Amino acid sequence: MSPNQRPHRPGVLVTLAFIGGLAAWQPLRAQTAASSVASPAAAPRVIAYLTLGASESNRLCMNEVRDGLIKAGWSFDQQLRLEWNDAANDPARYASVAQAMVERRPAVLLATDNPPAEALMNATKDVPIVVMGPTNLRSVLDAQLRPLANVTGVTLGLSRQFFLKPMEVLLQAFPRARRVGMITNGDNPAHENVKDLGPFADMLGQAGVEGVRVRFSGEAGIAGAWDELARRQVDSVMIWPDSSVFHGEHARQALRVRLPAISHTSWYATRHGGLLSYGSIGRVSMCGRGARYVDQVLRGRALAEMPVEELYEAALVVNLDTAERMGVTLPPALIARADRLIRPGERTLPPMADAKGDAGAAAQPPSR
C-alpha cells in the first residue's frame, strides 16, 4: 500500500504530538458520523504503542520511529498518527489495555519489551505487531527467523548471550565475590517463567559462587528488594532485563545500599549513574530499524516476508565516578576493555538530554 492510501479508522484516540522533537500527549476529539461520511479519507492510520509507563528511553524510541517514517515518505499531518498507551506502571493492566487497543483496529501495533509484546500477541492474531527490543519471539519464528504469527521486528532476546553475558562480566569485575544477588520483577512473566536461578545456576556453581534471587513488585517495591540484598550480604548484583521505567530507581537504590550492580542496558550506567552495563547501547538506533518494518507493513508487505532481525551489538560501560562514590575498585583489565568509560567528576547526560527541543515538552500520561 502506498503512503497516499489511507483507510478511514474513526474513533476516540490518544496521540503523540511531537513538539520540538519531544512527545506531548494530545487527546483527539471524537469525529462525528457526519464528518466521517463526508471525509472518508480524513482519519490518519494509527500506529499504536504499548508500554508499562512513561520513560525517556521509550519517548526517544517513538521519536525515532516517527523520524524514520517521515524519511520513508509518510506524513504525520495527514497520513499517520502515533498513539501511546501505557499500563500506568501496573502490569496487571497490560491485558485490558492491549485488548482496548486492538478493538480500535490500528494499522500497526508496537512494543519494546517482552510483557507488552506478549499482551498484544494474546489480544490479536491478525493486527501486525512490530517489536523493537529485548523480546523473546523464538516460539513464533521458523529456523530462518521468519514470522509464523502476526509479529516481526528487531530483537535482542533470541540469543541467550544477551541474558547471560552480563553475569559473566559481573564475575570478572568482582572475582572475589562469593555471593551474587539477582533482582527480578515479580510482575514480569518472562522473569517468573524462569525458576530459581535459571540458566545462571551452572555458571555460578562453576565459579563457586552462591546465587541469591530477590523479587520486587512495582517501582515502590524496588527499595525493599535492595534492602533485602544488602541484608543477605551479597557482594554484587545483576539486574535482570526489564522495562526502562525502573532503571533510574535501581541505580539510586544500588548507590544507597552501596551494592555494585550491572544491567543489560547502557542507560543504567550512562544516564542513571549505575556502575556497570553490558548489552544494548543503541536503543534509539534499534527503533530506527524498527521504523523500516512499520513502513513495510503500512505498504502492505506480508509479515512472513520480513524475518526478524536479531541484533548482536553489545557494549561494556564502566562508570568510574560511581565506583569512586561506592568505594569499589575494578580490575584494570575490565576497565581497559570498556567501550565507554565515565570518569570521576565527568558530567553525564541526564535522561532527557538526547531529546531535541525543550525538555519541558516531555510527554504526559494520556487520559484514561
Chain segment 172-182, per-residue pLDDT in tens: 999 999 999 99
Q: In the prediction, which pLDDT does 271 show?
A: 86
Cβ atoms of 114 and 136 closer than 8 Å:
yes
Q: What is the average pLDDT across 285-290?
A: 86
Q: In the prediction, which pLDDT does 60 show?
A: 85
Contacts of 24 (CB under 8 A, 6+ apart): 16, 17, 18, 361, 362, 363, 364
Is the pLDDT assigned to residue 35 strictly greater than 70? no
The model's pTM is 0.67
Of 6-15, 44-53, 100-109, 232-241, the range with the lowest mean pLDDT is: 6-15
The better pLDDT of the pair 48, 29 is held by 48
Chain segment 214-260, per-residue pLDDT in tens: 999 988 999 999 999 999 999 999 999 887 788 899 999 999 999 99
b (16+ CB within 10 A) / e for 345-368: eeeeeebeebbeeeeebbbeebee
Which pLDDT band, with edges at 50, 70 and 90, does 17 fall under?
Answer: very low
d(CA 156, CA 280) in angstroms, rounded, equals 8
Domain segments of the chain: what residues? 14-158+283-311, 160-281+313-342
Which pLDDT band, with edges at 50, 70 and 90, does 196 fall under?
Answer: confident
Q: In the prediction, which pLDDT does 20 show?
A: 31
d(CA 268, CA 276) in angstroms, rounded, equals 8
Tell the CATH topology of 160-281+313-342: Rossmann fold (3.40.50)
Instruction: Return the C-alpha cell found at 194.
Output: 524462569
The β-bridge partners of 86 are: 51
CATH no. of 14-158+283-311: 3.40.50.2300
Q: What is the average pLDDT across 138-151?
A: 82
Q: What is the average pLDDT across 22-40?
A: 34
Is the pLDDT assigned to residue 312 strictly greater than 80? no
- Residue 131 three-state SS: strand
Chain segment 329-359, per-residue pLDDT in tens: 999 999 999 999 999 887 665 544 333 322 2
The top-scoring range by mean pLDDT among 12-26, 51-65, 172-186, 273-287 is 172-186
Is the pLDDT assigned to residue 281 strictly greater than 90? no
Whether 160-281+313-342 and 14-158+283-311 are alike in CATH topology: the answer is yes
